[in-house]
């Protein structure tokens, strides 16, 4: 069932949390600064105000760029059981896009999905509740607008942590306010977060800037792979496992790589090929002109019209050829 508006989401969330003895929060695979930080903010509210047993499921170790939010202290790789009264999935509306087993959803008394990606109607199940707003900048803003009236009941330290989490969701999905999805609501929420003690410089520094010299060398290696097609209108970059291994970096070093080529002159579509196995690549698409979510769906993925991603098997040469062929059809 679809939740029609933000006020209905507020009522459903509060009622569902109040009636639950325990709550599980989940985001998508390869968690980012929107889904995971939104989970952390919601956990703070549920634990501090509703006094409920709450878990954030994170199968793998937290990405380094989010550890300033003390992710390891607030998440669980091993759950005590697989039966929860309430499961809330954030920044995702499909079982298959999470690391949780399907039985987690099947065993739950209530399941709520909160997302801002275009809906995949084939994945919708009537027994669950869905709040989907493709016009929302990020899920952090959705949660904030639904539950901000509760914040006055929290202490100064907790509300500051909450503000840091929500601000992280915003700078993640606006790429520090340079993406074309940045809107009035983004800045309005940021204004409200400042009243809660937010220090924007701290979050931006920790989340986006505080990287090792090895990371910046990796960025240079990736940028050296720039490959232009379609008379310079299409830009490819790629990373390999070898690049990461040589510098002693983990896969999360590839996060936000597209920001380094965003706005490149005369380029209409940017594509990043990230090698995750010998013949498996995660592909990220960006464009200010074309609906690249159409490309992502072809490659078993999804996302937004201007930013999306998928996966494809093959050698780097093979996957580039496959993607270029679909781009030619898109244009």
Alpha-carbon distances, residue 117 vs 91, 173, 273, 315 (angstroms): 7, 12, 22, 29
Report field, pTM of the whole predicted structure over 0.85? yes
Please name which of 114, 127, 162, 92 lies closest in space to residue 17, comparing C-alpha atoms: 114
Q: How far is Cα 19 from Cα 81, in angstroms, rounded to an integer?
A: 19
The per-residue b/e assignment along 206-241, b for 16 or more CB within 10 angstroms, e otherwise, is bbbeeeeeeeeebbebbeeeeeebeeeebbbbbbbe
Tens-place pLDDT, residues 252-309: 899 889 999 999 999 999 999 999 999 999 999 999 999 999 999 899 888 888 889 9
Averaged pLDDT score across all residues of the chain:
94
Tens-place pLDDT, residues 123-170: 788 899 999 999 999 999 999 999 999 999 999 999 999 999 999 999
Q: How far is Cα 325 from Cα 331, in angstroms, rounded to an integer?
A: 10
Q: Specify the residue for token string 């220090």.
A: 199
What pLDDT does residue 268 have? 96
Q: Please report which confidence band the pLDDT of residue 119 belongs to, taking 50, 70 and 90 as the band edges.
A: confident
- List residues bridging with 111 in a β-sheet: 87
Positions of E strands within 10-128: 22-26, 53-56, 86-90, 110-115
Q: Please report which confidence band the pLDDT of residue 331 belongs to, taking 50, 70 and 90 as the band edges.
A: low
What pLDDT does residue 55 have? 97
Tens-place pLDDT, residues 27-39: 999 899 999 999 9
Q: Which element (helix H / strand E) includes 317?
A: helix 316-330
Task: For each of the domains in the chain, give its residue range(s) and CATH number, in order of start.
Answer: 6-207 (3.90.1640.10), 213-330 (3.10.310.30)
């Amino acid at each position: 069932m679809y939740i029609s508006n933000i006020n209905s989401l507020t009522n459903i969330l509060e009622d569902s949390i109040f009636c639950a003895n325990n709550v599980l929060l989940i985001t998508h695979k390869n968690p980012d600064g929107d889904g995971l930080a939104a989970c952390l903010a919601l956990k703070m509210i549920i634990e501090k105000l509703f006094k409920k047993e709450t878990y954030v499921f994170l199968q793998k170790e937290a990405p380094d760029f989010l550890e300033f939010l003390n992710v390891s202290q607030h998440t669980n790789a091993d759950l005590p059981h697989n039966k929860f009264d309430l499961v809330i999935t954030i920044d995702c509306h499909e079982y298959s896009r999470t690391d949780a087993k399907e039985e987690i959803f099947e065993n739950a008394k209530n399941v709520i999905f909160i997302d801002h990606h275009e809906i995949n109607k084939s994945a919708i199940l009537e027994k669950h509740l869905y709040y989907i707003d493709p016009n929302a900048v990020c899920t952090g803003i959705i949660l904030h607008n639904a539950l901000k009236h509760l914040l006055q009941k929290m202490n100064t330290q907790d509300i500051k942590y909450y503000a840091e989490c929500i601000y992280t969701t915003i700078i993640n999905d606006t790429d520090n306010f340079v993406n074309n999805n940045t809107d009035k609501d983004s800045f309005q929420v940021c204004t409200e977060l400042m009243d809660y003690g937010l220090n924007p410089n701290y979050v931006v520094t920790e989340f986006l800037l505080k990287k090792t010299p090895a990371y910046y060398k990796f960025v240079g290696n990736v940028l050296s792979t720039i490959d232009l097609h379609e008379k310079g209108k299409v830009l490819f970059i790629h990373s390999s496992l070898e690049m990461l291994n040589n510098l002693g970096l983990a896969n999360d070093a590839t996060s936000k790589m597209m920001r380094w080529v965003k706005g490149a002159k005369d380029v209409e579509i940017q594509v990043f090929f990230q090698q995750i196995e010998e013949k498996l690549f995660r592909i990220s698409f960006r464009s200010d002109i074309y609906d690249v979510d159409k490309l992502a769906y072809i490659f078993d993925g999804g996302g937004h019209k201007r930013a999306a991603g998928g996966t494809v098997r093959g050698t780097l040469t093979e996957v580039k050829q496959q993607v270029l062929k679909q781009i030619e059809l898109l244009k």
